[in-house]
Structure 1
């Protein structure tokens, strides 16, 4: 059972977000916008049992050690729950610390299956597990006839896990995954290896802006790779900076996003509010932030006996409930809507839905 907040003063929620480099600052900004909008709306509707909700924000800069320190500090400040984080490796460190402290943590955006080493009742997740989304992405590749696939990757437990998911799932249909070490090869070397290995698709399992931008540019100007399918399952093309950095070169690169084909009334209203806050189209990350606060408000307002299993919230992307999912040690929303989309070459601001799961 999760202990409800003491009945005095504001109800504090600690938010951990990447707001400075080397974190993906743009993702952090969208996540924070969703969290802040959620808090504002909870307070506009009377708060939690008449008490205002207060967001206490700490920057992780994509550093697991900073995240651990931030969780400890937030706990000492008396937060009732923890929210946020985008980077999976950072969220994993935060989850371990929250579990050790007995602090409820709702992970907003990180997808790594192994968010904790052991099952815990203190941690839950809004985002889908990586294995769920990346298998759907593998099905998309197979549907387009791609069975010999290269992954350009960097050392990371997140990229390693993604490669394993793709390899195992594609192997069931006779597919092959070839790993290319970006740090050793560089962008031009990646292009040479793709040609040598005769792969038909190259997936970018790397950071943004670099080396992702340099690899895309190298592929686009290499005449040998005119028919190559580029892909980015981790969602790098979702945010506006991708189009700003790459222009037309950034189009037609399929990625995963966690939105339904059509938003309902709540989703459309929140989309409008988020767009005003961000002065640009909100990404799925911003919706994850908003939904995180909606869930925590329900959890913390439940009184004695509050638990993730009792949460039932209408989110921007559907009804949110948490269950125990085999192979995942945290409480999981199973499942948010998942799409494979790309940016339309005719209009970079438009997303084409290519596959859904």
Structure 2
């Protein structure tokens, strides 16, 4: 399937040439094959934060401006966008949802000396080597997926099957689960979705005696077809379907999966109860999106808040922004945000945002149930 043409960036988000704004380059997936709904939520959060900064006087009286570029989940396209944005003089880069794309952005940002605050991508190896230029709000995959493994063990699941497609992100996730489950006598069998149909997946689940199937695949396909096949197979009436990457968080999942998409536990990065700031932002984001915001929208807002705080104290100088990551201490929608060095993570990391395992309530698909808190 060919990728649809990229829609033009609205004039209000485009680069200005009069030198009267402080620019942030925003990288988000807005078209297929990227997860466009996640991109829209991420951008909504960024835009809300920037709008509030400007209503409060901007950066020392200078407006803060987003220069938006659509990555469409393409690492090469994202890297080219970093080069363009660096040439336009952005003070910093922000955003991205897809881990493999964020890794390409981080590599170019490091090479060019442009600060990058990664909003939502979780791959541990965001950079090949430690770098002072990159910081991250989202938890590392190893942290979040360990929480998910704890949930599986607590629910009595030790025979796990994963329906997987080739990807460094999916492979990393499967490895984390395997390492967490093995000491408890658990096992993980990988089902290669390059070779199996959804019906064949059902047969494999029966053959392996799996009690849980995790979807490490793209959305909507083959994820939706797998869910419908498993839910419709009477042999698998007791099996749990999970989606640790968070697909059921979004309304597209509920719309495309229908009732089959309920009771599928996934990771989300929200507290059990929002703070007053979080509740205010939730209402504002709901107004922008016309629906309940996902955790990705909160990540976008927190990204804007952190960058505004650093820009107020350091100005738009790129080197000073990067040097300021260790001193960040900002109240975000999901807790106090501070960055530190975490073993085996090459970027400045918020350790950690709140992590929970949740699902959609079968009795009300618009309601989420918290199943486990990390």
Could you state the TM-score of these two structures normalised by the residue count of structure 2?
A: 0.93
| 1:286 alignment counterpart | 297
Question: What is the alpha-carbon distance in structure 1 between the residues aligned to residue 337 and residue 331 of structure 2?
Answer: 6
Cα deviation, residue 9, structure 1: 2.2
Q: Are 2:119 and 1:108 equivalent residues in the alignment?
A: yes
Please say if 1:158 is aligned against 2:175.
no
Which residue is 2:355 aligned to? Answer: 338
CA distance in 2, matches of 1:203, 1:102: 39
Match for 1:310 among 302, 327, 332?
Answer: 327
Aligned pairs (5 A) from 1:1-357: 9-303=20-314, 306=321, 307-357=324-374
Q: Which runs of 4+ in 1 moved over 2 A?
A: 303-306
Note the residue ranges of structure 2 that are not aligned, 5 or more in a row.
1-18
Q: How far apart in 1 are the matches of 2:96 and 2:201?
A: 31
Deviations 1:18-58 (A, max 9, x none): 00000001100100100100100110111111111000000
Counterparts of 2:257 and 2:91 in 1: how far apart (Å)? 42
- 3-state secondary structure, aligned to 1:224: helix
Which residue in the other structure is 2:7 paired with?
none
Show the counterpart of 1:5: none
What SS class does the counterpart of residue 282 from structure 1 fall into?
coil
In the alignment, the residues of structure 2 paired with residue 57 and residue 262 of structure 1 have an alpha-carbon distance, to the nearest angstrom, of: 31
C-alpha displacement at 1:114, in angstroms? Answer: 0.2
Determine helix, strand or coil for the equivalent of 1:164: helix
**Whole-Å Cα distance in 1 between the matches of residues 131 and 309 of structure 2?**
20
- Superposed displacement of residue 105, structure 1: 0.1
Q: CA deviation at 1:257?
A: 0.1
Structure 1's unaligned 5+ residue stretches are: 1-7
Q: Distance in 2 between matches of 1:188 and 1:237?
A: 22
Once residues 216 and 143 of structure 1 are traced to their aligned partners in structure 2, the CA distance between those partners, rounded to angstroms, is 23
What's the offset of the Cα at 1:301?
A: 1.6
Inter-partner Cα distance in structure 1 for 2:40 and 2:198? 29
* Cα RMSD (Å): 0.8
Q: Distance in 2 between matches of 1:300 and 1:187?
A: 50
Q: Secondary structure at the match of 1:139?
A: helix
* Count of residue pairs brought into register by the alignment: 350
CA distance in 1, matches of 2:183, 2:83: 44
Moved more, 293-302 or 74-83: 293-302
Secondary structure, counterpart of 2:196 in structure 1: helix
TM-score relative to the length of structure 1: 0.97
DSSP-derived class of the 1:15 partner: strand
Which stretch of structure 1 is more off in the superposition, 225-234 or 301-310?
A: 301-310
C-alpha distance in structure 1 between counterparts of 2:135 and 2:333, whole Å:
18
- Counterpart Cα distance in 2 of 1:319 and 1:19: 29
